[in-house]
Every structure is written in C-alpha cells, then in structure tokens.
Amino acid sequence: MTRKFYITTPIYYVNARPHIGHAYTTIACDTIARRQRLLGADTFFLTGTDEHGQKIERAAQAAGKTPQQYADEISAQFHNLWKRMGISNDDFIRTTEERHIKRVQELFRRIRDNGYIYKGTYTGQYCVSCELYVDGAQPGDLCPTCGRVTETVHEENYFFKLSAFQDKLLELYANPEFIRPEARRNEVISFVRSGLRDLSISRSTFSWGIPVPDDPKHVIYVWLDALANYLTAIGYGSTHAGAQEAFKKYWPADVHMIGKEIVRFHCVYWPAFLLAAGLALPKTIVAHGWLLFEESKMSKSRGNIVRTETILDVLGADALRYFLLREVVFGQDGSFSFDALVQRYNSDLANGLGNLASRTLTMINRYFKGEVPYPSPGASRTKEDNDLREEAQVVIGMCTTAFEAFDFSVALEEIWIGLIAKVDKYIVENEPWVLGEKQDDESRARLATVLYTSAEALRIATALAYPVMPDATAKIWAQMGLGDIKKLELADLTWGQLPLGTKLGDVYPVFPRADKSAIERMQQMEDQQRSPVVEDAKDPMGKAPVAAEAKTQPAVPTPAPAAADGRITIDDFAKIELRVGVVKVAERVPKADKLLRLEIDIGTEVRQVLAGIAEAYAPEALIGRKVVIVANLAPRKLRGLESNGMIVAASLEGGKPVLASFLEDVPVGARLK
Ligand code: MSP
C-alpha cells in the first residue's frame, strides 16, 4: 500500500500582506512535500488563510471595508503569490468557506458532547494581536508574546477543560518526535508543568467568527476555528463519502510546520482539543525560527518587511528558496539581507550548480556531439574517479538524513560542499579542455570518463536539490536529456543511472550572474513599496533587535617597537590578514595580457581580485583552486575594475608567478598566521 504523507503550513492571517517571513514557512513545507512525492508517498500539502477574529474585524474596519471584502483581497494575495512561486499545495483552505464553518461547528459539538465544554464567565486580559488570553495579567499589562497592551475582557464564555489534559499532554511530550526542536519541546513542557487553566473558547462581544452551534450569540475562539483547518480541509465532519475517505486516509498529519511564536497553540491547545474530540494526534510539530531583516536596515516604524515579489522579479523563486533554506539554520533565527542573497546566488547558484551544469554539458556537446559519453570500464578508472563516485554515494545518504531531520541547511551544505565543490575540483584536476584538444585514443577515453563522471555527479546533485529548487533543477534535468524530473524515484537514487549515449537537450545558463545593480534594484523596489503603516505588530520581521552600536572606542594597544635592523614585530605581521580562498570565477581581462579577473570565496564573502597571472595560468584551470589572499588590502582599481585583495604568489626568475598552495586540505576562510 502506498504510504501517505500529510503536511501543513499554519494558515496565514489576512491582516498582513504576504512577505518573505510567510514565504519561509511555505517554502520549507513545499520542499518536504516535493521530496515526499519523489519518495513515492501519497502526499497532501495544505496551506490557506486564517480570516476570522477581532484582529481582522478591526483591520477591515480601519480600511473601510467589510471583513469579508478585506479577507477576500488579502487571501487572494497569498493564493496568487504561492501560485507564482510554484508552491505545490494540494488545497488552499479559507476559514470563511462554508465547508470549514460547518465542520468546525461539528468539532465543537463533538468536544461538547464528550463533556469538555462548559459555560462560565471570563474576566481577564486578552491580546487582540495574538488572539491570546493572557493568564494572570492585570489591566495595563503587556502581552508576553508581542509586547502590546492587553485589553480587559469580561464576558460570558464557553470554556474548554484544558486543565483535564495536563498529565496526558506531559505523557505525549515524552515522545521526542512530537515537538521539534528540543528547545521548543522543553519550553512547552515547562509551561504545561506550571499548571494549565481552563481556556475560554468563545467570544460574545464581536461577531466576525463562526457561531457556536445552538448559541449563535457567541463566536468560536479564533484559534480553535483556525487550528481545526488541519481537519476540515481533508474532510473531517463532512457527510460526503469522498471527503470521509480522504479524512480517513490523511489524518493524522505527519508534520505541522509552524513558527516559534505559535508553539503554545499548536503543542498545548491543539493536542488537547484533539484528545477531547477523541481524534488521533499529529505525529510531529516542527517550529522554525524567525527571519529578521538585516540589522542596518531595521526600523521601529515597522515598515521593514521584504516582499517576496521583489525577489521573484529580480532573481526568481529558486534563488529565494535556496537562500532561505541554506542560510538560516532551521529552528534558529536568521537575518535576511539583499547583499547576502545576491552573494549566495552568485557563489552557489551562478558559479556553483549553474556553472557546473553549463561547463559539463557544453563540453559534452563540444567533444561528444551532445551525447553522454561511455566511460572506460571500471578497472581502468583512476582513484579520483572512484573517490568522486564514493563521495556522491555518501552525500546521498547524508542529505537524506539531514532532510529527514529538517536540517535543510545541512542537506544543502552536503550537496554544495560535499559534491558540487568536489566535482569542480575533479574537473580542474583532470583538465578535460586539455584532453579535448588531443586526438589519441587514450586521451579520448580519459575525456569520456571525466565527462561521464562529472555529468553523473551533476545528475545526483540536481536530483538531491530538486525539492529546494524545483524550477532550475527541472531545467538542468531536461538539458541532460533526462525528461521530467518529477518522475525521478528518489529512494533509488544511486551512482551509475545516467544512461550512456543520452542525447542532451538545449544547453543554456540556468542562473545568469547577478551584478551589483540587482541589489540596488531590489532595495529600490522595496523602498518604493514600504509604507509606514503598522500591519501586524507581532510580526518578527519588525522585532529583530537592532545591534547595539559600540559606545566606546576599542582600546588601542601600544605597538611594540620595530627592530632596528628593519625586521617587523609580531604586531606588525598580525596586521596582515592572510586567508585561504577558493577561486569561483576566473576570466581574462580584455586588452590586458597579464591580468585575470577572479572571484574568490573567502568563507565570509566572495571577493573580486585582479591578478597578474594570466601568462602563467589558464583561467579554466584555476576554478576550484585554493589560494592565499591578502584580505585586508585597501581596494584599488585596475583597468576600471576594483581589485579587493591580492593573491599571494612566488615570483620566479623572469617574473613567472607561482601561486602559494597547500599540501594538506585547508578550509576556505582559514587565516594564516
Ligand atoms: N494565523 C496564525 C496561524 C494559525 S494556524 C492554525 C498565524 N498567522 S501568521 O500569518 O501570523 O503567521 C503564519 C506563519 O508565518 C507562522 O508560522 C509565522 O511564524 C510565519 N511568519 C510570519 N512572519 C515571519 C517571519 N518574519 N519569519 C519567519 N516566519 C514568520 O500565526
């Protein structure tokens, strides 16, 4: 029987325009869903919008619209954005839909019939922004989650017997898979251990919500309404046979993906509601951190969201997907900046995967008329060929483990550092462009093996990266003549499946390089869009702490005196920052015989360096090579291009430069001292 897999994003409030924080949760889920489909699971991926409650009612009022008009507009923005981003959700639920409303009422009835709902009076503080009852707060107190002033509520309400579930919940948390990561699990355990009070689950002082069955003066608490979407979208409470089937098949959810600020609702209230209704519990609730906007751009006016559309217009969806999952350690907070985005795009996509694909496939076109060449039989393969093959196998395993643990950044690091960088090095060392110029049989055979091996490694990297970058990888797959990447059976991925003699498709660059103007363009687009309007006060995009500026100047140490014979002190030497870098791009500078323009990754950034080594080194031979650069040299211009650092080389007689290198493997960014 086919395994099923059901994954959900939270449903998004319709009081805020979509931004890259929302996109982050959605991208993470989409990646998992796509991976599961390739693994053969019958996958259901749900997202949607959360449209009821006092917060939305007030936002609509402020905009001069009815809540429904307001919800329709913003819900459509989310819907359209996900379409544009190629998000592969199977359904998009809106909590104002009839199907949802009826089924939530059914859930309420069931919990009530099971004896877990009673009527009482609530007097206490409520945070409208978080739609949260703040236990123990006094009038004037601030919401512990968003910091806004709470409002005093005194109403007759329906209460849910949350206190009855304290022990059962603690038992549930004993399973480490239930809440991830562990830090969140511990937080929840300590909250529940401190004691649970019954929860008010209806409101009667406003009307924008789902009426309580048999008592329509009350509307159902918006979090009960919203959480229930995970059930209602797949058919819970429906009388239709098809919907009932779907519910039986997909529930319980395999993964609820959420941001860390809504952990309590998902890990305490939600399982308690489900237990009260006698329904099965989700298998895993995974909480990610917040995306913060680059510190220098932070503003208190809350106008600091970054719209997803801006990035889509300039770099495309795959660039954003890759950046967010590669840069942010899943579960922790991470900063977003346009500079970092463009830098990653150029170093990992344009120069990394994109460059590997275009040079491998272009050489197959040039030297083998566009057909995947036949490698030499196993016995005549070199150690390097075998090493690469083994490394690829290891990466397949590591990547699988990392994806399964939601460690997206680790999975991508495996593909890029564990495989793509190694193929680059393999190509540089085997110099297929030199072999390609020779006609003898031995060189032809070696060339065939080198290009086959590179193409096979490229195929594996592409397959593994597909869930993160569905569009670009599909293009590379088609360029390799492999057809539709969605048909790939990921569970069987292994070295050696690239069919020999495959005719390549059209080869073209998948990630054109972005220049500096891309950053300016995106910044301008955002500046034009930014409005000082406060949208969602609890939104973390506006909550990132601004780095405190250094108040005092660092103490300047008194330099030790230089020796009289001209030798320098250790302090003088320490001023020179020598770092290990790896060459990502190398090209000749037009009309300058000696100069090469290099882009060198020094771990923290990619530097453009101009080096007078063109007579000694062919640019292709330098890609992937580790070099030493003087990283803190003041920039200077040569032939109109800025050089930001200097490569260290010995100068032989006659002026021929020889680049400094290492016998042992050294990590990029390592400092020489
Ligand atoms: N409507 C509730 C969820 C109900 S689910 C039954 C809600 N909506 S939200 O629009 O405020 O947030 C939806 C998701 O977007 C959350 O997982 C939240 O963490 C995520 N993000 C919103 N801004 C974010 C960042 N700046 N960074 C990362 N994720 C962020 O909560």
Mean pLDDT score of the chain: 90
The one-letter code for the residue type at 181 is P
pLDDT > 50? residue 296 = no
Ligand 1 mean position to 130 CA, how many Å? 11
Contact 125, 154 (CB under 8 A): no
Residue 566 token pair: 């001209």
Residue that wins the pLDDT comparison between 300 and 201: 201
317 Ramachandran zone, left/alpha/beta (phi>0; psi -120 to 50): alpha
Pocket test for ligand 1, best of 20, 25, 145, 225 (most atoms within 8 A of CB): 25
107-146 tens-digit pLDDT? 999 999 999 999 999 999 999 989 999 988 999 899 888 7
Least confident of 265-279, 424-438, 488-502, 517-531: 517-531
3-state secondary structure 185-203: HHHHHHHHHCCCCCEECEE
Least confident of 214-228, 372-386, 436-450: 372-386
198-223 tens-digit pLDDT? 999 999 999 999 999 999 999 999 99
The protein residue whose alpha carbon is closest to atom 9 in ligand 1 is 12
Pocket test for ligand 1, best of 8, 75, 262, 336 (most atoms within 8 A of CB): 262
657-669 tens-digit pLDDT? 899 988 888 888 8
* Residue 300: pLDDT band with limits 50, 70, 90: very low
pLDDT > 80? residue 295 = no
292 CA: nearest ligand 1 atom? 26
Token pair 């300039």 is found at: 314
Residue that wins the pLDDT comparison between 62 and 322: 322
The protein residue whose alpha carbon is closest to atom 18 in ligand 1 is 259
Of the CA atoms within 13 Å of residue 485, those in its CB half-sphere come to: 24
The protein residue whose alpha carbon is closest to atom 30 in ligand 1 is 21
pLDDT of residue 293: 77
pLDDT > 80? residue 154 = yes
Ligand 1 mean position to 576 CA, how many Å? 46
Pocket test for ligand 1, best of 11, 12, 330 (most atoms within 8 A of CB): 12
Ligand 1 mean position to 286 CA, how many Å? 13
Identify which of 127-136, 431-440, 584-593 has the greatest average pLDDT. 431-440
Alpha carbons 518 and 514: distance in angstroms, whole number: 6
Measured CA to CA in angstroms, residue 226 lies from 48, 191, 222, 638 at distances of 10, 22, 6, 60
Ligand 1 mean position to 266 CA, how many Å? 12
230 CA: nearest ligand 1 atom? 6
* Residue 305: pLDDT band with limits 50, 70, 90: confident
Alpha carbons 338 and 340: distance in angstroms, whole number: 5
Nearest to 263, CA basis, from 191, 329, 200: 191
Which neighbouring-strand residues pair with 48? 93
50 CA: nearest ligand 1 atom? 1
Alpha carbons 319 and 308: distance in angstroms, whole number: 11
Ligand 1 mean position to 181 CA, how many Å? 17
Ligand 1 mean position to 139 CA, how many Å? 27
Alpha carbons 360 and 370: distance in angstroms, whole number: 11
Span 490-514, average pLDDT: 96
pLDDT of residue 634: 85
257 CA: nearest ligand 1 atom? 17
Alpha carbons 434 and 601: distance in angstroms, whole number: 26
Ligand 1 mean position to 12 CA, how many Å? 6
pLDDT of residue 546: 29
Residue 371 main-chain phi, psi, to 5 deg:
-120, 135
Ligand 1 mean position to 191 CA, how many Å? 21
Least confident of 107-116, 385-394, 458-467, 604-613: 604-613
Span 314-321, average pLDDT: 97
22 CA: nearest ligand 1 atom? 15
Span 267-278, average pLDDT: 98
Ligand 1 mean position to 25 CA, how many Å? 8
Span 31-42, average pLDDT: 98
pLDDT of residue 362: 97
Contact 584, 600 (CB under 8 A): yes
Ligand 1 mean position to 10 CA, how many Å? 7
Ligand 1 mean position to 66 CA, how many Å? 23
Dihedral of alpha carbons 6, 7, 12, 17, sign: negative
**Strand pairing class (132-134; 626-630):** unpaired
* Residue 530: pLDDT band with limits 50, 70, 90: low
pLDDT of residue 201: 97
Ligand 1 mean position to 373 CA, how many Å? 49
Ligand 1 mean position to 310 CA, how many Å? 20
Ligand 1 mean position to 275 CA, how many Å? 25
536 CA: nearest ligand 1 atom? 11
12 CA: nearest ligand 1 atom? 10
pLDDT > 80? residue 504 = yes
Q: Which residues contact ligand 1 via a Cβ below 6 A? A: 10-13, 21-22, 24-25, 50, 226-227, 229, 258-259, 261-262, 290-291, 539-541
258 CA: nearest ligand 1 atom? 17
Nearest to 131, CA basis, from 230, 209, 25: 209
Alpha carbons 250 and 354: distance in angstroms, whole number: 38
9 CA: nearest ligand 1 atom? 17
Alpha carbons 546 and 301: distance in angstroms, whole number: 13
Pocket test for ligand 1, best of 50, 293, 538 (most atoms within 8 A of CB): 50
Ligand 1 mean position to 539 CA, how many Å? 8
Identify which of 17-21, 424-428, 567-571 has the greatest average pLDDT. 424-428
Span 600-623, average pLDDT: 86
* Residue 566: pLDDT band with limits 50, 70, 90: low
Least confident of 66-75, 84-93, 420-429, 643-652: 643-652
Task: Tally helices (H) and strands (E) across the chain.
Answer: 24, 26
pLDDT of residue 536: 44
Residue 118: strand, helix, or coil: strand
The protein residue whose alpha carbon is closest to atom 24 in ligand 1 is 21
Alpha carbons 671 and 659: distance in angstroms, whole number: 17
Alpha carbons 518 and 350: distance in angstroms, whole number: 14
Alpha carbons 286 and 25: distance in angstroms, whole number: 10
Ligand 1 mean position to 261 CA, how many Å? 8
19 CA: nearest ligand 1 atom? 23
pLDDT > 60? residue 449 = yes
* Residue 544: pLDDT band with limits 50, 70, 90: very low
Span 11-25, average pLDDT: 92
pLDDT of residue 537: 39
Span 18-23, average pLDDT: 92
Whether this model's pTM surpasses 0.85: no
The protein residue whose alpha carbon is closest to atom 29 in ligand 1 is 21
pLDDT of residue 67: 97
pLDDT > 70? residue 541 = no
Span 394-400, average pLDDT: 98
The protein residue whose alpha carbon is closest to atom 6 in ligand 1 is 227
* Residue 381: pLDDT band with limits 50, 70, 90: confident
pLDDT > 90? residue 624 = no
pLDDT > 90 in the chain, percent? 72
Pocket test for ligand 1, best of 14, 15, 17, 22 (most atoms within 8 A of CB): 22
47-98 tens-digit pLDDT? 999 999 999 999 999 899 999 999 999 999 999 999 999 999 999 999 999 9
pLDDT of residue 348: 98
Ligand 1 mean position to 168 CA, how many Å? 27
Terminal C-alpha separation, the chain = 61
Nearest to 106, CA basis, from 199, 9, 225: 225
Alpha carbons 341 and 591: distance in angstroms, whole number: 32
Residue 316 token pair: 């495309």
Ligand 1 mean position to 305 CA, how many Å? 13
pLDDT > 80? residue 294 = no
Span 284-294, average pLDDT: 89
3-state secondary structure 133-154: EECCCCCCCECCCCCCECEEEE
pLDDT of residue 662: 86
The protein residue whose alpha carbon is closest to atom 17 in ligand 1 is 259
541 CA: nearest ligand 1 atom? 26
